[in-house]
Structure 1
Amino acid sequence: MEKKQEEESAKAECTHHDNNVELGFIEEVDDELLLTNQFFPSKVGGKPVWLDLQGIPSAASLTCKNCGNVMQFLIQLYCPVDGESACFHRTIYIFCCRDGQCHQRSAQDCFLVFRSQLPRNNSFYSSQPPDRQNPQNSYDNSLLTKWCSLCSLCGIPSEKKCAKCGTPYCCRQHQVFDWKHGHRENCTSAAKTPIFASNDYLFPQYDVCIDDDDEDNDNDDADSKSDHPTDSKLTGENYHDYIKSDLANQITEADIKSVEDHNHDEEFLEFKEKIRLQPDQILRYKRNGIPLWISSKDIPSSSDIPGCSCGAKRIFEFQIMPQLLHYLKIENSQTSIDWGILLVYTCSKNCLHNNNDKSSNGYMKEFLWRQNYSSAETKS
């Protein structure tokens, strides 16, 4: 009964959303130099761009508890905190298991969130802003090799090397994958991993552009429509119109039923209205704000959000929207990765040390809550 009352209270609070929300949108990568360490990027897919170059999470700390495989980098968000010198630079990383069957069991076992932060004066970066107009002036290709060795396949710390050419890998599994997907033909004693190497293992890489929520401006309604097709269960478009779109072959009977069920869900109706003008948003950011729920089900109570190991309360910081799934080019099936929204909660005090995980050093574990579309789906 107490749990139900807390959920109802949280739902009541959510009727008063703060308009000062920043939205994240996908953009194609124009200059890959701008997605390197010195430019503190926000990005989706590819390899993670680490902020603190010491104490980077290892393969062991990024292992899915369900299947035992190393998780894959999903997204990172550069989000400094004004007025906190220790957070002059600050990035949050999300990793996930690629196996959709793991996601059907428990989100807490197949997602991981890490927070990293640095003061303005640190061991890795200039205290002066990088030159974004001429990025080659700020780019230092020796930065990574000076501080760390990263897996050629996924970009997390390496623990193994190819015996012939010395290419680094985080685990045997990734070495075997790379061997089967091209390294066998390209392995030479002089081989070097290209700086911006991509591969079939990674999610597609995109830049993330952050903008203010302009939901009150209805004058640009026509101009605000996305150029990308989006799922009708997200935008509220009529299913018969949607089925004519480029994504029609991806929809399932379960999706159709989900739309019908959600037509009577007040939270989902509000969700559709909030994203109506900018339906291609993949992220909503408002530190210590209130999430935009996608369902009236599985709204976490205060007891569902664990406190930080430092003793401080965790607060909501941002949410990943379901639209991101489209850009990841994941096969749509009953066993594929799926979510309604992903909510990230972080330490309210931005602590610097995790008392329960000394191996993480500058990377603090944070908390993610997954809310699905339907109550029939497995709860996080």
Structure 2
Amino acid sequence: MPQPHMPSATRPLLPLASLMTVALSFGLTYGLSAPLFTLALTDKGYGPQFIAANAIMHAIGVLGLAPFLPRIAARFGPRMPMLLALATLACVLVALPLAPSVWLWFPLRLALGAATEVLLILSESWLNQITTDQTRTRTMGLYSAVLSAGFALGPLILAGVGRHGFTPFGISAAIIVAALVCVAMPWMHAPTLEHAQHSGLWRYVKLAPIAISVTLLMAMLEAAGSSFLTLYAMRNGWAEQNATLLLSAMLIGAITLQFPLGWLGDRFNRRHLMICLGALSCLGALLWPWAITHGVWAYATLFVWDGLFAALYMLAMSVVGSRYHGGDLVSIYAASSVAWGLGAFIGPELAGTALDLGPHGLPYFVSLACGLFTLLPLILKKSA
């Protein structure tokens, strides 16, 4: 029996809340696994090349599955693949501390990458389709904030219970099982995902160049920041512990400012707001060399900067969600995931080169990247 039309005044709050638990699970998996794998392999005596090879398995899982997700979603709908992905994550997290050899971590990490890819693409596209255009941007802002909170939750679990033994894996698996239960609830009526109108992910790069470009930018700068921000601060006289807290300040900014900026996105032209935030991100990065020499101002500057910068993705995907639906929307997210993988590969290399060019090479690289992106919504006025 078809579901009755639900007016915007009575939005599907329970499905929205369930999809937020999926966002939390996605962020938690990333936030927990990245430091845990690195530290555990270091403890076992493995060097950077081995650790990097293990990390690449996650990216291979993402890039390997992305081209097939539109067809999988069209055939089975978003709900069944999401349930399977959540079950896979829970099983992998339970299996990791029990694996008798670190070589088993390679296929397990590949499975993590593929499963998290399913969660991100299908939960965001599902959320976009059940959200009205009047509240789309703030809803996506809340989703982004919960995603960032998941990233923060992983290190908090490690700090609270330690990284040795089964406990951190068991806690994380329990949270993911709770998300699985939420998605399995009867109120989760999945939207129909018709087949995409176009074939090949490259066609969707042409349809949504701004959204896919902002995904590339986000991946580049997030990977660059997580790899080199601490080193940048230490080269400018900071102690290691204080330098590490700069990443926390950025993450808190991304969590705090998404919803209010989403509120603005629902009341003003999203393309114009994207241009403003892009310009502010470009100019704000130029403040880093000043802020890094003024102690507490560095935390405040990076808090505001990352909050503004992270909103670019939210706005771009809100525009895409208002223009495309069903299989086309899933295909755009799949193309964006390929862009994310590419950005995560090239970001650290470009940032490392910039850092070697001078003491403030990192912020200049960030400013240049944000400035180049801002030209896109200025030039491509009718593109998503």
Which structure is higher in helix share?
2
Work out which structure has the larger RCO, using CA pairs closer than 8 Å and 6 or more positions apart in sequence: 2
Which one has a bigger Cα radius of gyration? Answer: 1
Whichever structure has more strand as a proportion of its residues is 1
Fold conserved between structures, TM > 0.5: no
**TM-score of the pair, normalised by structure 2:** 0.27
Please give the TM-score of this superposition, normalised by the length of structure 1: 0.27
